[in-house]
Structure formats: C-alpha cells, structure tokens
Structure 1
Amino acid sequence: MTDKHLFTYTFSPLSGAMLHLYLLSMLFFTASSILTIIFPLQAEISGISEGEIGFIMGITMFVCMVLRPWAGQMVAKYSVKTMMQWLLVGHAVTLMIYVLFGIDSIYVVRVLQGVVIAFFSMSMQLGINDMLKNEDRGQGMSMYSLSSVMPSLYGPVLAIWLWQQLDGTYFIACLVVLAMLPLLIYMRTPLPQHQKAWVAFSIRELLGALKETSRHQGLVIASITMIVGATIIGAISTFLPLYMLKFKLGNIAIYLFIQALVVVGSRFILRKRIPSDGHWHPNFIILVLLASIIGTTMLAYGGQLGSFIYLSAIFNGLAFAMLYPTIMTYISFAIPEDKKHLLLGVFLATNDLGFSLGSFVMGIVVQLTSYAMMFIACTIVTCFAIVLVVLKRHID
C-alpha cells in the first residue's frame, strides 16, 4: 500500500483544528468515565455477583488489548479520517444499545467499547502525528493525553449525580448527547485522509519478536511492573465506588475528584521529573509503587480512617499519574528499532491486560473474602513488584 493524497499539515498544537481534536477526545472519554462508575452500581442492584462484575468491567480492556497490535495497521490502511468516522458511529451505536436495552446489554456494550477504544486511541495518536510538525508533536501528544484524562475530573461526579436521579431521564439524555456530539465535532475536524504504507505482520512474526525481546531483562521487568500497576488501577476503578457506597465511607464523588485532580495536576507539574533518557530508574519506580502501597493499604482500613480516607486518593493519584508514562517512556527507548512496528502496540497492551486482571482477579477475591482483603491483596501484589525491581535494579 503506498501513500495516497499525501500532504503536510502545518497546524500548531493550540490551533482551532487541534482544539477540536482535543475536545473530541474529551467527549469520547467522558462517556467511558461515566459508565465506569454506573455499570458496577447497576450490576450490583441487578443481583450480579462481585466476581461477575469484575469480569464485565475487565472484558473491555481485554478486547482492547487483543485488538491494539492490529489497530494501527487498519488505521494506516484506511486513513485516520475514515476510521474515525466509523469508530464514532460505532461509539454512538454502543451507547444507544445501552439506552435501549439497559443492563441486559452490558456484555455486548462492554465488548463494543473495547473495540472502539482500541481504534480511537490509535487513530488519535496517528492523526496528531500527521497534523503537527515534528517539533510540535510532543506538545500535541501531551495535550491529547491531558484531554483524555480530563473526564476523570468531572465524569465520576456527574455519574454519581446521574445515579441519584431516580427516573433516569437525565442519564438517558446524557448518553444520547455523548453519542451524537462527537460525530458533530468530528465533521469540523480536518483529520488526515491519506493512506500509508504499513508493514503487515503475522502471528508467527509477532511471537518471534516477543521471544527475542524476552531476553531483554529491562523490558521484562518494565512489563511486569506495568501489569501490576494497571492491575491496581483496574481493581480500584471497578470496586472503589461499590466499596465506599456500601460501607458509607465518605463521599465517592469527592474521593474520585481528588484522585483525578492529583493525576491531572501531577502529570503537568511533575512532567519534567519523568525519566526520559532511555535508562531504567529503579529508585523512581520504587517511589511510585510505594505511593500505590500506601493508597491501597489505607483503603483496606477505610472503616477506621474516617475522613482520612481521602488521603489515599492523593497517593493513588500519584501512582496512577507517574507509573504509565515513566514505564512507556523507557519501553519506547528499549524496544529494538527494527521491531518497533511490531512491539509498541504489544507493550501498550500490557496496560490493558493489567487493567483486565484487576477487574477479573480482584472481583473473585472480593467475592470469596471481602473488599478490605481485596485492597490488601493489591498491596501484596505491589510489594512483589517492588521486590522484583530491587532484585533487578542493575538493568538497562
């Protein structure tokens, strides 16, 4: 496949066209932010067990993980604009299915969400890459990352407010708006239409590349740490609202707002502290993991902490904010250049895998034991990651 209709964009990172793109991203992830809170609450009221709730919430990122390595190929083959059009139609259809059929459609909706998210993130990143000059791409990617995180500031608060409206009219109206508005924003956004030459790969090639990189200790430790960190994020995202509401541990909307504020603020304020020299920095990773340990341990004893439970939102927010960009920056340097087209999507998918495991496995832990034991399990898993990083600290 050769490039068609190839041309160069000269937009600035804060031009009107790019602001449309960031707004599109924010609206897209607003729906996910709201539904991530609403789904477990509705499922519990419907009599679904914690283990099944974990499976339901984890299946989206599992589907995303499976599709991610191939999403880039599809976007390059059919162009960013074409893929964005169809995935936003799919996004609207997904939300409308939930509006029409409610909790009975939750499995279908969660699978479709996984498909749409996999293609949306890849389309946005490739689109930004094409629309900006080389020297502006870093700022553009940073703005995209910020726009995708912003819904975590207001989404949970909006979700709790919608949940408390007894007739459900506002909830349905909100989903309809979030289904239609991204399509309207898309029509005003000049996304790239050209098709690119893309290196296709087979399963055999992918497995061969993974086998080769498995000899690189740094990549192995980074991937395991990523999976552990994402597991904790998945568990907290899925079960924290249920835990706090069930045991009346403070205000869940305030907790999630504090946590999201820390994530957004620290990613901006501490952005220059993230190691970007291509070397493994075990001390920095250990500090981030220690923040996670403090956060999950405090949640485990939430009943004894009272209002101090909000402190755990600060530590969890710091861990969430720093772990992913730190590890992905290292991985982007450590992956062999000739295998990057094969492996970048795979290592990105480790985050999706961890999130899925956090919902799947910790859901079973909750069902068999308790919420407190689940958070203690999160602490133990993170301690394992710290021990691994300490033992393998002299890698590069």
Structure 2
Amino acid sequence: MKYTPLSLPMIQVYILSMCFFTASSVLTVILPLQASDSGMLEGEIGIIMGVYMLVCMILRPWAGQLVARYSVLTIMKWLLLGHAVTLLIYITFGIDSLYVVRVLQGIVTAFFSMAIQIGISETLRDKDRGQGMSMYSLSSVMPSLYGPALALWLWSQTDKIYLQVCIITLAVLPLLSFIRSPLPKTKQPNVSFTLQDMLKEIKKAKHHKGLVIASITMLIGACIFGAISTFLPLYMVNENVGNAALYLFFQAVIVVASRFILRKHIPSDGTWHPKFITLVLFSSVVGTTILACSSIIGPYIYVAAVFNGLASAMLYPTLTTYISFAVPEESKHILLGVFLASYDLGFSLGSLAMGFIVQFASFSTMFVACSILGIIVMGLVVFQRNQKINIKEW
C-alpha cells in the first residue's frame, strides 16, 4: 500500500524519527562539554564526537543488506532496543563510557537511517519521494529546536538526576512510537553481497558523474555541518561569544521551516540540478564566513544561523533524493548505503580534522577552513553545470 507524505501512518514514522534523534541532539551538546570539563583537549573531543559517524559510515552498506534481507520492520525493532541499551550504558558509566557510547550510537544510527530511508522509498510513490525524504529530514532536525537548549539546561543543573531521567525517557520514547508502525515487512532474502561485490559496484559507479559529484558534495557539506555541530556550542560556551542555545534555536527554526515550506521544491525527478546545489552551497559559505568574523560583528553572529540553517535544510534531502533515483534498482541496497556513507564520513571528518585545527590554531581558523571547503565544492558543481547528468547514465 502506498501512502501520501502527510498521511497519518507516515506522520507516525516522522514522530519515531524525531524521538530517536532527540537523544543525539542532547548528547551532541552534552558530551563535548562533559569531555572539556574533565580536561580533554579539542583534538580528543573531536575524535570522540567523530567516531560516531565514522562507525555509521562503515556499517551503512551492510545495514542496507540486512534491512533488505530481514525487512525494515524487523531491523527497526532490534535497533531501537539497541538504542535504549546504549543510553542506559551512558547514564550508568558516565564519562568513562564515552567512546563505547559513541561507537554504539554509530551502529544504531547506521541501521536506523538505512531502514527509515529504504522504508520511505518503498512506501511512497516515486513522485512523492522527494517530499517524503524532506519530511524525514525535517523530523530528524526537529529535536534541534529544543535539544540544545534542553542539553544546556541539564548541564547547568547541579543535581544530575534530571539528566538521568531525561536520558531514560529518550530511551523509552522511540520504542513507544514504534508500536503499530506502518514500515514495510517485505523481505528480499536473495539480496546479499560481499566486500568484493561492493567494490565491483563502486567501480561501476565511478563512471556515473552524477553520483560522483553528489557524493563529493555530500562529503564536503557534511564535513562543514559536522564541524559546526561539534564545536560551535563549545566555542560559544567556553569563549562567552553570543548565546549557544539562542543561536542553535534560530538555526533549527530555519532548518525546520525551510524543510517544510520548501519540501515541494526538492527535485524529485532523478536529474542533477547544479544551480540549486550551488545556491545551497553558497548559503553555507556565507554562514561559516560570518562565524569566522564573530569577534568583529558581535551580535550579528546570529545572521549566520539563517545561512547555515538553509544549507543544512536543503543539501541532504536534495542529494539523498537524487541518489535514490540514480542508483540502479538491482544494487540499490548496496550503493545507497555506500553513497550515503559519504555523508557520515564527511560529518566524522568535520569533528576529527577540525578538532585539531581548533586545538593548534583557533575556532575562527576552523570556520575559515569550512568556507574554503564550501568554495571548492561550489567550483566543482559549477564546472560541471553544462554537462547533462541524469539517471540514464548508468
């Protein structure tokens, strides 16, 4: 049965996503502050935060295979239990469990992301897939409206019982939201691949210009988003620059509003749209440049939230939708995982690499580096603008 993007069963899927990602939104702010408070340097904090998406990247392709073999519904049930266990480990062992918790988060998120996106692509009509991906992306960033502020409030409390109660609640809510889920039960037991099969498909895919450029764009864009997500709250809190909760709230409002209002403008025809992508990347460059000049512009730093929010809102659903059309159906569960892994790798590098830039240079230098990366990938997209790239290239 095919649903519409805003039908009640699909809204349940979006609520499930929102509940799941709320924990990540809270911990993304809490963990760097907790690590810094314990004496860790920015480089090590970057490693702790980056290992999450690095693990997610490695497991995505195999997650897609297992989702196909055992069904979206079955995989979702087990990963949500794993999500609950991960959060319980954190509240039990605290700072000593950070590496373990981030690794487990990466494993769970790899399966969740693949299961949800494959489920959406199988549940919606092709013409609605762009809206569905956009609504999923919207639900995944909804927690950023309240997550950072909630995290900073929990961190400011002397009694950590509030934090423990919050984390336990976030462990249980996704399981409750999963009850009577509309996610598909269909299995594809013959879907199987080895590392050699995956490398063979990647070798074929490298000749598809659209997929290559989309993956590079996703990699660089995610690197920028990862750096901002990890170090902006730490920068604002430790350096007393602006208000971290206010900035993150503004940015989240822009992301949420953009993904809902502009959801019908997400290209859903399988064709590469270089002008649209260039505008999105330009917004990111403007945003990171403003952050780099925060010491000069003072309160106008919040303008960066508008540009960074627009970039974050549009880039991922646009590229994900395009890739979902561009990969051939017979190898979708391999290549969709591989190319979405480029986002995970980029996000991870945003924490890993940029952490050492902060440690040995400054936060402003890190934001300048982000702007330079954005300009480079803009140049790549513009350079390819006159070359026709579509799903028939395969």
Both proteins in one fold, TM over 0.5: yes
Deviations 1:321-345 (A, max 9, x none): 1112222333334334444332111
Amino acid corresponding to residue 237 of structure 1 in structure 2:
S
Give the C-alpha shift of residue 357 in structure 1: 0.7
- Of 37, 42, 47 in structure 2, the residue corresponding to residue 50 of structure 1 is 42
Partner of 1:372: 364
Partner of 1:209: 201
Query: Relative to 1, partners in 2 of residues 1:234 and 1:142: Cα closer, same or farther, differing over 3 Å?
Result: closer
| Maintained 8 Å contact 2:130/2:267 | no
Partner of 1:175: 167
Partner of 1:274: 266
Partner of 2:75: 83
Unaligned runs of 5+ in 2: 390-394
- Of 145, 149, 153 in structure 2, the residue corresponding to residue 153 of structure 1 is 145
Higher mean alpha-carbon deviation, 83-92 vs 60-69, is at: 83-92
Partners in 2 of 1:262 and 1:215 — Cα distance? 36
Partner of 2:294: 302
Partner of 1:226: 218
Query: Relative to 1, partners in 2 of residues 1:283 and 1:10: Cα closer, same or farther, differing over 3 Å?
Result: closer
Partner of 1:6: none
Query: Relative to 1, partners in 2 of residues 1:112 and 1:198: Cα closer, same or farther, differing over 3 Å?
Result: same
Deviations 1:224-252 (A, max 9, x none): 11111100000000000011112211111
Partner of 1:351: 343
Amino acid corresponding to residue 49 of structure 1 in structure 2:
L
Give the C-alpha shift of residue 316 in structure 1: 0.4
Partners in 2 of 1:332 and 1:75 — Cα distance? 16
| Maintained 8 Å contact 2:69/2:189 | yes
Give the C-alpha shift of residue 18 in structure 1: 4.0
| Maintained 8 Å contact 2:130/2:318 | no
Give the C-alpha shift of residue 283 in structure 1: 2.4
Give the C-alpha shift of residue 304 in structure 1: 1.5
| Maintained 8 Å contact 1:73/1:198 | no
Identical counterparts, % of pairs? 62
Partner of 1:5: none
Partners in 2 of 1:307 and 1:317 — Cα distance? 17
Query: Relative to 1, partners in 2 of residues 1:360 and 1:78: Cα closer, same or farther, differing over 3 Å?
Result: same
Give the C-alpha shift of residue 386 in structure 1: 1.8
Deviations 1:263-315 (A, max 9, x none): 11112222233333433332222221111111111111112211100000001
Give the C-alpha shift of residue 211 in structure 1: 1.4
Query: Relative to 1, partners in 2 of residues 1:249 and 1:66: Cα closer, same or farther, differing over 3 Å?
Result: same
Partners in 2 of 1:141 and 1:354 — Cα distance? 20
Query: Relative to 1, partners in 2 of residues 1:391 and 1:195: Cα closer, same or farther, differing over 3 Å?
Result: closer
Deviations 1:73-125 (A, max 9, x none): 21232233332222111111100111011011000000000111111122223
Amino acid corresponding to residue 265 of structure 1 in structure 2:
A
Higher mean alpha-carbon deviation, 178-187 vs 342-351, is at: 178-187
Query: Relative to 1, partners in 2 of residues 1:348 and 1:293: Cα closer, same or farther, differing over 3 Å?
Result: same
Partners in 2 of 1:10 and 1:285 — Cα distance? 29
Unaligned runs of 5+ in 1: 1-8
Does 2:88 align with 1:96?
A: yes
Query: Relative to 1, partners in 2 of residues 1:274 and 1:12: Cα closer, same or farther, differing over 3 Å?
Result: closer
Query: Relative to 1, partners in 2 of residues 1:245 and 1:393: Cα closer, same or farther, differing over 3 Å?
Result: same
Partner of 2:61: 69
Pairing 1:187-336 to 2, within 5 Å after superposition: 187-189=179-181, 191-336=183-328
TM-score normalised by L of structure 2: 0.91
Query: Relative to 1, partners in 2 of residues 1:187 and 1:332: Cα closer, same or farther, differing over 3 Å?
Result: closer
Q: SS in structure 2 opposite 1:76?
A: helix
